[in-house]
Structure 1
Protein backbone atom coordinates (compact mmCIF):
# COMPACT_ATOMS: atom_id res chain seq x y z
CA UNK A 1 0.00 0.00 0.00
CA UNK A 2 1.10 3.51 -0.70
CA UNK A 3 2.35 5.08 2.55
CA UNK A 4 1.23 8.64 1.70
CA UNK A 5 -2.28 7.40 0.85
CA UNK A 6 -2.54 5.57 4.17
CA UNK A 7 -1.36 8.64 6.08
CA UNK A 8 -3.95 10.84 4.32
CA UNK A 9 -6.66 8.27 5.08
CA UNK A 10 -5.65 8.20 8.75
CA UNK A 11 -5.64 12.00 8.95
CA UNK A 12 -9.07 12.16 7.28
CA UNK A 13 -10.56 9.76 9.84
CA UNK A 14 -9.10 11.86 12.65
CA UNK A 15 -10.56 15.06 11.16
CA UNK A 16 -13.98 13.44 10.82
CA UNK A 17 -13.84 12.40 14.48
CA UNK A 18 -12.82 15.95 15.44
CA UNK A 19 -15.73 17.30 13.38
CA UNK A 20 -18.16 15.17 15.37
CA UNK A 21 -16.71 16.56 18.60
CA UNK A 22 -17.54 20.03 17.27
CA UNK A 23 -21.05 19.00 16.21
CA UNK A 24 -21.80 17.50 19.64
CA UNK A 25 -20.45 20.61 21.39
CA UNK A 26 -22.47 22.90 19.12
CA UNK A 27 -25.65 20.88 19.70
CA UNK A 28 -25.21 21.11 23.47
CA UNK A 29 -24.30 24.81 23.38
CA UNK A 30 -27.24 25.84 21.19
CA UNK A 31 -29.66 23.67 23.20
CA UNK A 32 -28.58 25.16 26.52
CA UNK A 33 -28.50 28.71 25.12
CA UNK A 34 -32.02 28.47 23.70
CA UNK A 35 -33.39 26.80 26.81
CA UNK A 36 -31.88 29.34 29.20
CA UNK A 37 -32.47 32.53 27.18
CA UNK A 38 -35.69 31.93 25.23
CA UNK A 39 -37.16 29.07 27.28
CA UNK A 40 -37.29 27.04 24.06
CA UNK A 41 -36.22 23.43 23.59
CA UNK A 42 -35.09 22.19 20.19
CA UNK A 43 -37.41 19.36 19.12
CA UNK A 44 -35.70 15.98 19.48
CA UNK A 45 -32.57 17.61 20.90
CA UNK A 46 -32.23 14.85 23.50
CA UNK A 47 -32.58 12.03 20.94
CA UNK A 48 -30.31 13.77 18.45
CA UNK A 49 -27.73 14.54 21.14
CA UNK A 50 -27.80 10.94 22.35
CA UNK A 51 -27.29 9.57 18.85
CA UNK A 52 -24.56 12.14 18.11
CA UNK A 53 -22.72 10.99 21.23
CA UNK A 54 -22.93 7.41 19.94
CA UNK A 55 -21.50 8.55 16.61
CA UNK A 56 -18.75 10.42 18.43
CA UNK A 57 -17.83 7.33 20.45
CA UNK A 58 -17.45 5.10 17.40
CA UNK A 59 -15.50 7.68 15.39
CA UNK A 60 -13.40 8.30 18.51
CA UNK A 61 -12.58 4.60 18.60
CA UNK A 62 -11.37 4.94 15.02
CA UNK A 63 -9.25 8.00 15.83
CA UNK A 64 -7.58 6.48 18.91
CA UNK A 65 -7.11 2.96 17.55
CA UNK A 66 -4.37 3.81 15.10
CA UNK A 67 -2.34 6.27 17.14
CA UNK A 68 -2.36 4.21 20.32
CA UNK A 69 -4.01 7.07 22.20
CA UNK A 70 -6.30 4.82 24.19
CA UNK A 71 -5.65 3.70 27.75
CA UNK A 72 -3.06 0.95 28.00
CA UNK A 73 -1.40 -1.02 30.78
CA UNK A 74 2.29 -1.40 30.04
CA UNK A 75 3.49 -3.25 33.13
CA UNK A 76 4.86 -6.24 31.23
CA UNK A 77 5.65 -4.34 28.03
CA UNK A 78 7.89 -1.82 29.84
CA UNK A 79 9.97 -4.60 31.39
CA UNK A 80 10.85 -6.60 28.28
CA UNK A 81 13.20 -5.95 25.36
CA UNK A 82 12.25 -4.35 22.04
CA UNK A 83 11.72 -7.73 20.30
CA UNK A 84 9.13 -8.81 22.86
CA UNK A 85 7.58 -5.34 22.97
CA UNK A 86 6.93 -5.60 19.24
CA UNK A 87 5.48 -9.11 19.67
CA UNK A 88 3.16 -7.84 22.41
CA UNK A 89 2.14 -4.89 20.22
CA UNK A 90 1.33 -7.17 17.27
CA UNK A 91 -0.63 -9.60 19.46
CA UNK A 92 -2.58 -6.81 21.20
CA UNK A 93 -3.38 -5.14 17.88
CA UNK A 94 -4.59 -8.43 16.38
CA UNK A 95 -6.88 -8.96 19.38
CA UNK A 96 -8.17 -5.39 19.02
CA UNK A 97 -8.74 -5.96 15.29
CA UNK A 98 -10.76 -9.10 16.03
CA UNK A 99 -12.88 -7.43 18.74
CA UNK A 100 -13.63 -4.30 16.72
CA UNK A 101 -14.43 -6.38 13.62
CA UNK A 102 -16.99 -8.41 15.59
CA UNK A 103 -18.36 -5.17 17.07
CA UNK A 104 -18.70 -3.69 13.56
CA UNK A 105 -20.54 -6.79 12.38
CA UNK A 106 -23.03 -6.63 15.26
CA UNK A 107 -23.50 -2.86 14.87
CA UNK A 108 -24.41 -3.40 11.22
CA UNK A 109 -27.19 -5.70 12.42
CA UNK A 110 -28.41 -2.85 14.64
CA UNK A 111 -28.43 -0.47 11.65
CA UNK A 112 -30.37 -3.02 9.60
CA UNK A 113 -32.98 -3.74 12.28
CA UNK A 114 -33.42 -0.03 13.07
CA UNK A 115 -34.03 0.60 9.37
CA UNK A 116 -36.41 -2.36 8.96
CA UNK A 117 -38.36 -1.50 12.13
CA UNK A 118 -38.66 2.15 11.01
CA UNK A 119 -37.56 3.52 14.41
CA UNK A 120 -38.29 7.26 14.59
CA UNK A 121 -37.47 10.10 16.96
CA UNK A 122 -40.21 11.21 19.34
CA UNK A 123 -40.94 14.83 18.32
CA UNK A 124 -40.15 15.18 14.63
CA UNK A 125 -40.47 11.50 13.67
CA UNK A 126 -37.06 11.46 11.98
CA UNK A 127 -35.70 8.03 11.10
CA UNK A 128 -32.87 7.04 13.45
CA UNK A 129 -31.12 4.55 11.19
CA UNK A 130 -28.93 7.21 9.48
CA UNK A 131 -27.39 8.06 12.85
CA UNK A 132 -26.70 4.37 13.45
CA UNK A 133 -25.26 4.06 9.94
CA UNK A 134 -22.86 6.96 10.52
CA UNK A 135 -21.75 5.35 13.80
CA UNK A 136 -21.29 2.05 11.94
CA UNK A 137 -19.14 3.83 9.33
CA UNK A 138 -16.92 5.07 12.17
CA UNK A 139 -16.59 1.54 13.47
CA UNK A 140 -15.75 0.36 9.95
CA UNK A 141 -13.10 3.08 9.76
CA UNK A 142 -11.70 1.78 13.05
CA UNK A 143 -11.36 -1.70 11.53
CA UNK A 144 -9.48 -0.26 8.55
CA UNK A 145 -7.17 1.82 10.75
CA UNK A 146 -6.44 -1.12 13.04
CA UNK A 147 -5.69 -3.25 9.96
CA UNK A 148 -3.28 -0.54 8.73
CA UNK A 149 -1.70 -0.41 12.19
CA UNK A 150 -1.29 -4.20 12.19
CA UNK A 151 0.26 -4.14 8.72
CA UNK A 152 2.67 -1.40 9.76
CA UNK A 153 3.56 -3.08 13.06
CA UNK A 154 4.50 -6.27 11.22
CA UNK A 155 6.15 -4.90 8.07
CA UNK A 156 7.02 -1.22 8.75
CA UNK A 157 7.21 -0.54 12.50
CA UNK A 158 9.09 2.70 11.84
CA UNK A 159 5.86 4.14 10.32
CA UNK A 160 3.83 3.79 13.53
CA UNK A 161 2.98 7.11 15.14
CA UNK A 162 2.13 6.11 18.72
CA UNK A 163 0.91 8.78 21.07
CA UNK A 164 3.77 9.78 23.32
CA UNK A 165 2.48 9.47 26.86
CA UNK A 166 4.28 9.76 30.11
CA UNK A 167 4.36 6.38 31.80
CA UNK A 168 4.66 5.72 35.49
CA UNK A 169 6.81 2.73 36.38
Structure 2
Protein backbone atom coordinates (compact mmCIF):
# COMPACT_ATOMS: atom_id res chain seq x y z
CA UNK A 1 0.00 0.00 0.00
CA UNK A 2 2.83 2.42 0.87
CA UNK A 3 4.58 1.78 -2.47
CA UNK A 4 1.36 2.46 -4.44
CA UNK A 5 0.81 5.74 -2.54
CA UNK A 6 4.43 6.86 -3.15
CA UNK A 7 4.16 6.02 -6.86
CA UNK A 8 0.91 7.98 -7.02
CA UNK A 9 2.57 10.94 -5.26
CA UNK A 10 5.52 10.89 -7.68
CA UNK A 11 3.22 10.68 -10.66
CA UNK A 12 1.07 13.53 -9.45
CA UNK A 13 4.21 15.63 -8.85
CA UNK A 14 5.39 14.93 -12.41
CA UNK A 15 1.92 15.80 -13.71
CA UNK A 16 2.02 19.08 -11.76
CA UNK A 17 5.41 19.92 -13.28
CA UNK A 18 4.05 19.15 -16.75
CA UNK A 19 0.93 21.25 -16.18
CA UNK A 20 2.94 24.18 -14.79
CA UNK A 21 5.26 24.22 -17.80
CA UNK A 22 2.30 24.08 -20.18
CA UNK A 23 0.60 26.97 -18.34
CA UNK A 24 3.77 29.06 -18.52
CA UNK A 25 3.93 28.44 -22.28
CA UNK A 26 0.29 29.57 -22.56
CA UNK A 27 1.04 32.73 -20.56
CA UNK A 28 3.86 33.60 -22.97
CA UNK A 29 1.47 33.17 -25.91
CA UNK A 30 -0.84 35.66 -24.20
CA UNK A 31 2.00 38.12 -23.57
CA UNK A 32 3.08 38.04 -27.22
CA UNK A 33 -0.52 38.55 -28.37
CA UNK A 34 -0.99 41.42 -25.91
CA UNK A 35 2.25 43.09 -27.01
CA UNK A 36 1.22 42.89 -30.68
CA UNK A 37 -2.32 44.09 -29.99
CA UNK A 38 -1.24 47.10 -27.89
CA UNK A 39 1.53 48.04 -30.34
CA UNK A 40 -0.83 47.99 -33.31
CA UNK A 41 -3.53 49.86 -31.39
CA UNK A 42 -1.11 52.61 -30.29
CA UNK A 43 0.38 52.94 -33.75
CA UNK A 44 -2.96 53.00 -35.58
CA UNK A 45 -5.02 55.28 -33.35
CA UNK A 46 -2.51 57.35 -31.38
CA UNK A 47 0.48 57.53 -33.78
CA UNK A 48 2.85 56.44 -31.02
CA UNK A 49 4.58 53.28 -29.90
CA UNK A 50 5.77 51.50 -26.80
CA UNK A 51 9.47 52.23 -26.22
CA UNK A 52 11.51 49.17 -27.22
CA UNK A 53 8.37 47.42 -28.53
CA UNK A 54 10.38 45.86 -31.36
CA UNK A 55 13.01 44.53 -28.97
CA UNK A 56 10.36 43.27 -26.54
CA UNK A 57 8.41 41.68 -29.38
CA UNK A 58 11.33 39.76 -30.80
CA UNK A 59 12.58 38.64 -27.38
CA UNK A 60 9.09 37.56 -26.29
CA UNK A 61 8.71 35.66 -29.55
CA UNK A 62 11.99 33.85 -28.83
CA UNK A 63 10.77 33.02 -25.33
CA UNK A 64 7.50 31.76 -26.80
CA UNK A 65 9.31 29.48 -29.25
CA UNK A 66 11.39 27.79 -26.55
CA UNK A 67 8.47 27.40 -24.13
CA UNK A 68 6.37 26.13 -27.06
CA UNK A 69 8.98 23.46 -27.71
CA UNK A 70 8.66 22.50 -24.05
CA UNK A 71 4.86 22.34 -24.23
CA UNK A 72 4.76 20.17 -27.37
CA UNK A 73 7.65 17.90 -26.38
CA UNK A 74 5.81 15.96 -23.71
CA UNK A 75 2.47 15.53 -25.47
CA UNK A 76 3.99 14.53 -28.79
CA UNK A 77 1.54 16.92 -30.45
CA UNK A 78 4.03 18.22 -32.99
CA UNK A 79 4.04 17.29 -36.67
CA UNK A 80 5.15 13.73 -37.24
CA UNK A 81 5.44 11.36 -40.18
CA UNK A 82 3.92 8.04 -39.19
CA UNK A 83 4.32 6.00 -42.38
CA UNK A 84 6.30 3.20 -40.72
CA UNK A 85 4.74 3.64 -37.27
CA UNK A 86 1.17 3.01 -38.52
CA UNK A 87 2.16 -0.21 -40.27
CA UNK A 88 3.76 -1.98 -37.32
CA UNK A 89 2.37 -3.52 -34.15
CA UNK A 90 1.98 -1.85 -30.75
CA UNK A 91 5.31 -3.07 -29.36
CA UNK A 92 7.28 -1.79 -32.39
CA UNK A 93 5.36 1.51 -32.20
CA UNK A 94 6.43 1.92 -28.63
CA UNK A 95 10.10 1.29 -29.40
CA UNK A 96 10.01 3.63 -32.40
CA UNK A 97 8.65 6.30 -30.07
CA UNK A 98 11.30 5.54 -27.45
CA UNK A 99 14.06 5.85 -30.05
CA UNK A 100 12.60 9.07 -31.51
CA UNK A 101 12.18 10.57 -28.04
CA UNK A 102 15.78 9.71 -27.12
CA UNK A 103 17.01 11.42 -30.30
CA UNK A 104 14.85 14.45 -29.46
CA UNK A 105 16.22 14.45 -25.90
CA UNK A 106 19.79 14.47 -27.22
CA UNK A 107 19.13 17.27 -29.74
CA UNK A 108 17.29 19.51 -27.28
CA UNK A 109 19.94 18.90 -24.60
CA UNK A 110 22.68 20.05 -26.99
CA UNK A 111 20.52 23.03 -27.97
CA UNK A 112 20.05 23.91 -24.28
CA UNK A 113 23.80 23.81 -23.65
CA UNK A 114 24.52 26.08 -26.61
CA UNK A 115 21.69 28.45 -25.69
CA UNK A 116 23.17 28.82 -22.20
CA UNK A 117 26.37 30.02 -23.86
CA UNK A 118 24.30 32.64 -25.72
CA UNK A 119 22.71 33.81 -22.44
CA UNK A 120 26.13 34.02 -20.78
CA UNK A 121 27.66 35.90 -23.71
CA UNK A 122 24.75 38.35 -23.82
CA UNK A 123 25.27 39.02 -20.12
CA UNK A 124 29.03 39.47 -20.50
CA UNK A 125 28.62 41.78 -23.53
CA UNK A 126 25.99 43.83 -21.65
CA UNK A 127 23.61 43.91 -24.64
CA UNK A 128 20.88 46.49 -24.05
CA UNK A 129 17.59 47.41 -25.72
CA UNK A 130 17.66 50.38 -28.08
CA UNK A 131 15.34 52.93 -26.43
CA UNK A 132 15.40 52.28 -22.71
CA UNK A 133 18.77 50.49 -22.39
CA UNK A 134 17.30 47.49 -20.58
CA UNK A 135 19.60 44.45 -20.37
CA UNK A 136 18.45 41.72 -22.74
CA UNK A 137 20.05 38.75 -20.98
CA UNK A 138 17.05 38.15 -18.65
CA UNK A 139 14.84 37.59 -21.73
CA UNK A 140 17.39 35.16 -23.10
CA UNK A 141 17.53 33.44 -19.69
CA UNK A 142 13.74 33.01 -19.64
CA UNK A 143 13.92 31.44 -23.11
CA UNK A 144 16.72 29.17 -21.89
CA UNK A 145 14.54 28.09 -18.96
CA UNK A 146 11.94 27.05 -21.54
CA UNK A 147 14.57 24.91 -23.20
CA UNK A 148 15.55 23.42 -19.83
CA UNK A 149 11.85 22.67 -19.30
CA UNK A 150 11.74 20.94 -22.69
CA UNK A 151 14.65 18.70 -21.65
CA UNK A 152 12.85 17.90 -18.40
CA UNK A 153 9.58 17.07 -20.15
CA UNK A 154 11.29 14.95 -22.81
CA UNK A 155 13.10 13.04 -20.04
CA UNK A 156 9.76 12.46 -18.26
CA UNK A 157 8.19 11.33 -21.56
CA UNK A 158 11.10 8.94 -22.17
CA UNK A 159 10.79 7.51 -18.67
CA UNK A 160 7.05 7.02 -19.10
CA UNK A 161 7.42 5.49 -22.57
CA UNK A 162 9.79 2.89 -21.16
CA UNK A 163 8.35 2.24 -17.68
CA UNK A 164 4.80 3.66 -17.55
CA UNK A 165 3.29 3.77 -21.05
CA UNK A 166 -0.19 3.85 -19.51
CA UNK A 167 0.66 7.20 -17.89
CA UNK A 168 0.80 8.94 -21.27
CA UNK A 169 -2.59 10.43 -21.94
CA UNK A 170 -2.80 11.05 -25.66
CA UNK A 171 -4.48 8.63 -28.06
CA UNK A 172 -1.22 8.14 -29.96
CA UNK A 173 0.29 6.33 -27.00
CA UNK A 174 -2.87 4.42 -26.09
CA UNK A 175 -1.90 1.84 -28.73
CA UNK A 176 0.81 0.49 -26.44
CA UNK A 177 -1.76 -1.18 -24.24
CA UNK A 178 -3.26 -3.29 -27.03
* 1:67–1:163 CA contact under 8 A, matched in 2: no
- 1:86 aligns to 2:94 (yes or no): yes
Size of the aligned set, in residue pairs, is: 164
**TM superposition score normalised by structure 1:** 0.95
- 1:45 aligns to 2:53 (yes or no): yes
Structure with greater helix percent? 2
- 1:24 aligns to 2:32 (yes or no): yes
Distance of 1:3 and 1:156 partners within structure 2: 10
- 1:14 aligns to 2:22 (yes or no): yes
**TM superposition score normalised by structure 2:** 0.90
* 1:68–1:163 CA contact under 8 A, matched in 2: no
Matched with 1:3 is 11
Structure 2: runs of 5+ lacking an equivalent: 1-6, 173-178
- Using the TM superposition, give the Cα deviation of residue 163 of structure 1 relative to its aligned residue in structure 2, in angstroms: 6.2
1:97-152 deviation digits (Å, cap 9, x = unpaired)? 00000000000000000000000111111100000000000000000000000000
Matched with 1:95 is 103
Distance of 1:63 and 1:11 partners within structure 2: 9
